[in-house]
């Protein structure tokens, strides 16, 4: 049987890993695919000393690869938005199937890319775009296809999880652990995408689309980072029976779909609470199967390459199949009919519980005023801790509330921060039970 000929664009960390897995495991891959999968051409700005490209055509012009008539599948591993979009669209226009690990590309431009691919009858595969080597997209799109997905919550950025893990285990400050993560290569020199939740929001956007059959809507995702989390918060959460994790959460309700990334207190006994270091994990609740958990390496050369090559295998198996009979790109047919899709709920309409930390002047009546403000917004208090006064006679007050609507909490926090006896900003961290009975 004729081989599937691959054009590999990008020979960096993931590209190099993909190259090496494809060449090292060529015989095994051919047996699984039913035909050889060979690298026909590599497009990269620079060589990778860990990859032996002898005998393989190479070019610094990635668009040459996209137009090469001898290539069946283009593998896009260059990252970024604009050039990657142009490369993928060029490949599709030239009738090539596409495999990508680019979550930003899919989250922002995926609707356009999938429409073009459908018109051309080609496959776009993107398992490696979310959670590295964890096959969560395939599980959602195929393995759980008989379920109505109720909610999904995940640790989908290893850098943030590494920072929160070491803050908790070693009692260290955010900035200190971030510097260590950068020194170890877990965090970029500019860590904004990781610590502010943008990277996780890209991935969550993709997962939500597959889980609920809604168009990709990254611009409607709520993102909040972890830079304001202190060791005091980590310690208090622990004392209250919780762990702080930077979660992506999406949930379906009758009124719409939640799409949010933020620090979250979750009960210590939950499986996600025990995912540490740079590992990723995604919990999915289906109405038929109940709770399932997908755990593993969310980044790295060969874990991500594992997913890229698995996509190549799928393409090789499906390459002769009429595209009307393939699994839809985002699991549902007609997903681009935005008029009939569930809306993404604004954050003000989300209902959850809250952890609040504030500094107040140590004088009678302050706690009563705090309680009154919460009560007037219909917010009931589950637990309250008043610690010893700090320097300047300020008392840290920790509150745990019952579930309430975010807009009511926003107004309560506005009023609390306006009190003369409250110093500075109120720290607010959302609390989720992730109850497996929901």
CA 321 – CA 319 distance, rounded (Å): 6
Closest CA to 164 of 195, 204, 198: 195
Phi, psi values for residue 207, rounded to 5° = -65, -40
CA 422 – CA 411 distance, rounded (Å): 15
CA 270 – CA 434 distance, rounded (Å): 8
- Known catalytic membership, residue 268: no
- CA distances to 379, 428, 429 from 401, in Å: 7, 11, 11
255: left (phi over 0), alpha (psi -120 to 50) or beta: alpha
How many beta carbons lie within 10 A of that of residue 45, not counting itself? 11
Q: Which residues contact 222 (CB under 8 A, 6 or more apart)?
A: 201, 259, 260, 261, 262, 347
Closest CA to 273 of 246, 235, 236: 246
CA 328 – CA 367 distance, rounded (Å): 55
Contacts by residues 433-436 (CB-CB < 8 Å, ≥ 24 positions apart):
433/266, 433/267, 433/353, 434/153, 434/266, 434/267, 434/270, 434/272, 434/283, 436/285, 436/290, 436/291
403: left (phi over 0), alpha (psi -120 to 50) or beta: beta
CA 331 – CA 249 distance, rounded (Å): 19
Q: Which residues contact 82 (CB under 8 A, 6 or more apart)?
A: none
- CA distances to 121, 134, 304 from 137, in Å: 21, 8, 13
Helix (H) or strand (E) run with residue 237 in it: helix 231-239
CA 245 – CA 161 distance, rounded (Å): 7
Candidates 96, 103, 138, 203; catalytic one: 203
24 token code pair: 């090292």
Question: Which positions are annotated as active-site residues?
Answer: 203
């Amino acid at each position: 049987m004729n081989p599937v000929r691959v054009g590999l664009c990008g020979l960096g960390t993931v590209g190099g890993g993909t190259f090496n897995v494809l060449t090292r495991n060529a015989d095994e891959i051919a047996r699984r695919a039913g035909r050889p999968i060979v690298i026909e051409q590599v497009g990269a700005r620079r060589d990778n000393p860990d990859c032996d490209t002898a005998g393989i055509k190479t070019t610094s012009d990635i668009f040459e690869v996209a137009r090469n008539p001898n290539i069946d599948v283009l593998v896009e591993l260059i990252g970024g938005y604009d050039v990657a979009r142009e490369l993928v669209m060029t490949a599709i226009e030239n009738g090539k199937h596409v495999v990508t690990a680019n979550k930003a590309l899919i989250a922002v431009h995926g609707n356009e890319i999938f429409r073009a691919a459908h018109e051309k009858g080609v496959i776009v595969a993107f398992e490696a775009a979310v959670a590295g080597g964890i096959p969560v997209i395939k599980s959602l799109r195929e393995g759980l296809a008989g379920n109505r997905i109720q909610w999904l919550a995940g640790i989908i950025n290893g850098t943030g999880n590494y920072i929160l893990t070491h803050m908790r285990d070693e009692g260290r400050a955010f900035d200190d652990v971030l510097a260590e993560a950068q020194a170890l290569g877990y965090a970029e020199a500019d860590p904004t995408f990781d610590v502010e939740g943008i990277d996780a929001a890209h991935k969550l956007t993709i997962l939500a689309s597959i889980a609920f059959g809604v168009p990709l809507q990254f611009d409607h995702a709520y993102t909040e980072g972890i830079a304001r989390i202190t060791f005091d918060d980590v310690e208090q959460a622990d004392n209250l029976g919780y762990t702080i994790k930077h979660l992506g959460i999406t949930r379906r309700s009758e009124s719409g779909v939640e799409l949010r990334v933020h620090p979250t207190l979750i009960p210590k006994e939950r499986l996600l609470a025990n995912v540490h270091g740079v590992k990723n994990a995604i919990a999915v609740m289906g109405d038929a199967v109940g709770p399932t958990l997908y755990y593993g390496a969310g980044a790295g050369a060969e874990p991500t390459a594992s997913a890229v090559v698995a996509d190549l295998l799928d393409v090789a198996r499906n390459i002769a199949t009429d595209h009307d009979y393939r699994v839809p790109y985002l699991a549902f047919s007609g997903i681009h009919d935005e008029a009939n899709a569930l809306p993404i709920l604004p954050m003000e309409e989300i209902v959850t519980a809250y952890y609040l930390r504030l500094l107040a002047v140590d004088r009678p009546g302050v706690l009563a005023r705090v309680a009154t403000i919460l009560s007037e917004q219909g917010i009931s208090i589950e637990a309250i801790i008043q610690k010893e006064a700090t320097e300047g006679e300020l008392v840290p007050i920790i509150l745990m509330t019952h579930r309430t609507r975010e807009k009511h909490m926003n107004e309560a926090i506005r009023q609390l921060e306006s009190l003369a006896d409250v110093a500075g900003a109120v720290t607010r961290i959302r609390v989720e039970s992730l109850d497996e009975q929901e």
